[in-house]
Structure 1
Amino acid sequence: MSEKFWDKSYSDKAFVYGKQANRFVQVMSHRLNPRSAVACFAEGEGRNAVYLAELGHDVIAYDQSSVGLKKAQQLAKEKGVSIQVEQKDLTKEMVPANKYDAAVMVFGHVPREKQRFLIHTMLASVKTGGYLILEVYSEDQLAYRTGGPKETAMLYNPIDLLTWFREQKWIHFYYGEAERHEGIRHSGLCHVIQVVVQKQ
C-alpha cells in the first residue's frame, strides 16, 4: 500500500485505529527497562508510540505517511508527552542499526515479498539484548473480516516469522484468535500472530 493510500486513509479527523494502544503492546510493555529507546514501526497515527512515551520511554515513530505522523504528534501533545517522528518507506529504507532497546510493530502489513526486509530492518535496529514486540494479522484473518488487508499476500504466515526470528531468544509466540477493538478499522474477533523475541 502506497504513501498516497495511507495519507488518504489517515486524512479523516478521527483516529481511524483509535487513540488507545494495542492491547498486546500494553501487556508486553513491562518487559522494557525504564527509559528505553523504542522504535515503533509502521506506527501510523501514533497510539502505541504515545502510550510508550507516557510510560517514560524515548520513542520514535516510523511511517511512510506524513499525515499519520502529524496526527501522532497531535496525539502526543494532547497526552502531554513528546515523541520523535520520521517519514520512511520501511519496505525500502533501513533505519539506524543497533540503536534501540526495543522495536515495536502492530499490524504493519506490507506485500509478502517485502515482509522479510521489514522484519530484518526491525531486528537490525535493536541492540543485542533488546526486544522485538509485534502483533500482526495472520493469513487466516481473511475469514474473520474484522480488519486488515483483504489480500492473503499482505498478511503474515507463522512459519515465516518463526524462520526469520529463529536465531533470537523466544519470549512469546502466539498464533490464534484475539478480540481487538481499535477504532473503526479493527473491530471484533480476529486471527493474529504475536511475537516477542530478545535479540542475541
Structure 2
Amino acid sequence: MATEPLDWNAKYDCRGLLYGHQPNSFLAEHAASLIPRQATILSLGEGEGRNAVWLGRHGWKVCAVDVSAHALAKLHRLAAEAGVDIETRRADVSAFDAGCATYGAVIILHMHLPPEARRQAHRRAINALAPGGVLLLEALRPEQLEQPSSGPTAVECLYTADELAEDFAPLQIKYLGTEDRDIRAGQHQGITSVVSLIGRKPG
C-alpha cells in the first residue's frame, strides 16, 4: 500500500519549534573535525533551521532546502535572532537540483522518504558533493517502530544500514553504524533507534 504524503506545512504550523533549538547531536559531534570552515554546506530536509543556524553561528555557509514554507519561515526567524544569514530553497528534496560538485558537505538529518524518493534524493546529494566533500546522514531505523519516541509510522520510510550502504556506494564510507540512544529534541523525547553514515566523495 502506498504511503500517504505528509502535509509538512500542517506539521510545522504550530507555535514554537517542533524539535527545539539545539542541533542534532551527530552533526554537533562530527562537523568540526570533518567539514572545512570554508565549505558551503547543503542541508536537505532542514525543517525549522536548528541545524543550519547552528552551522551558521559556527562560521559555515549553508543552503537549507525544505518543502515546507512554514518551516522555512521559522528558519528565517531563528536565523535573524542568531544574526546569521542562511540561504533557503523551498523544494521537494527528491526532485531538487543542487547542481554538480557544488557543495563541500551535505547533511541529511532525519529526512524520511519512501524508497524511490529516498534513492532519488540520495543520488542528487552525491551529485551535489564536490570531490573530497563529506556527507553526514542520520535517520531512524525500522526498530524505531518499537520505541515510545516519535517518528514515521510507515516502515518503508525508515532506513536500514544495508539500504544506505547501497544508496551511497559511490562514496567512500568512513562510518556506517546503528545504535539506540536517548534523544531530547523538542517534542521528540526518549530512546531512539538510529542509523548514521559518514561518507566522502572520491577525488
User: What is the CA distance between 1:145 and its match in structure 2?
Assistant: 3.0
Could you say which residue in structure 2 is the equivalent of 1:102? 105
Give the corresponding residue for 1:148. Answer: 151
- Conserved? CA contact 2:101–2:128, under 8 Å: yes
Q: Which residue of 2 aligns with 1:91?
A: 94
Q: Is 1:20 the counterpart of 2:22 in the alignment?
A: yes
Q: What residue is the counterpart of 1:114 in the other structure?
A: 117
Report matched runs for 1:52-63 at 5 Å: 52-63=55-66
Partners of 1:59 and 1:92 lie apart in 2 by 19
Alignment partners' CA distance in 2, 1:110 and 1:145? 21
Q: Is the Cα–Cα contact under 8 Å of residues 112 and 155 in structure 1 kept in the other structure?
A: no
SS of corresponding position for 2:73? helix
CA distance in structure 2 between the partners assigned to 1:88 and 1:97 by the alignment:
17
Which one of 13, 32, 36 corresponds to residue 35 of structure 2?
Answer: 32
Identity of aligned residues (%): 27
Counterpart of 1:50, as a letter, is V
1:132-185 Cα deviation digits (max 9, x unpaired): 00100011111113121011011112111011222322222111212111111x
In structure 2, the residue corresponding to 1:60 is in which secondary structure? strand
SS in 2 for 1:145: coil
Is residue 2:198 matched to residue 1:199? no
- Whether 1:158 aligns to 2:161 is yes
Measure the CA separation in 2 of the matches of 1:177 and 1:9: 25
Aligned to 1:139: 142
Letter in 2 for 1:8: A
> Normalising by structure 2, what TM-score?
0.94
Q: Is the 8 A contact 1:18 1:182 kept in 2?
A: yes
Is the contact between residue 161 and residue 176 of structure 2 (CA under 8 Å) also seen in structure 1? no
Structure 1 segments (4+ residues) deviating >3 Å: none
Instruction: Find the aligned partners of 1:162 and 1:18 in 2 and give their Cα distance.
Output: 30
Most deviating of 174-183 and 43-52? 174-183
Q: 2:11 aligns with which of 2, 9, 12?
A: 9
Aligned partner of 1:125 in structure 2 is 128
Q: State the 1:78 CA deviation.
A: 0.8
Q: Is the 8 A contact 1:111 1:153 kept in 2?
A: yes
Amino acid at match of 1:120: R
SS, match of residue 43 in structure 1: coil
The 3-state SS of whatever aligns with 1:20 is coil
1:35 positional shift: 2.5
The alpha-carbon deviation at position 92 of structure 1 amounts to 2.6
Report the TM-score when normalising by structure 1: 0.95
Unaligned segments of structure 2, at least 5 residues: none
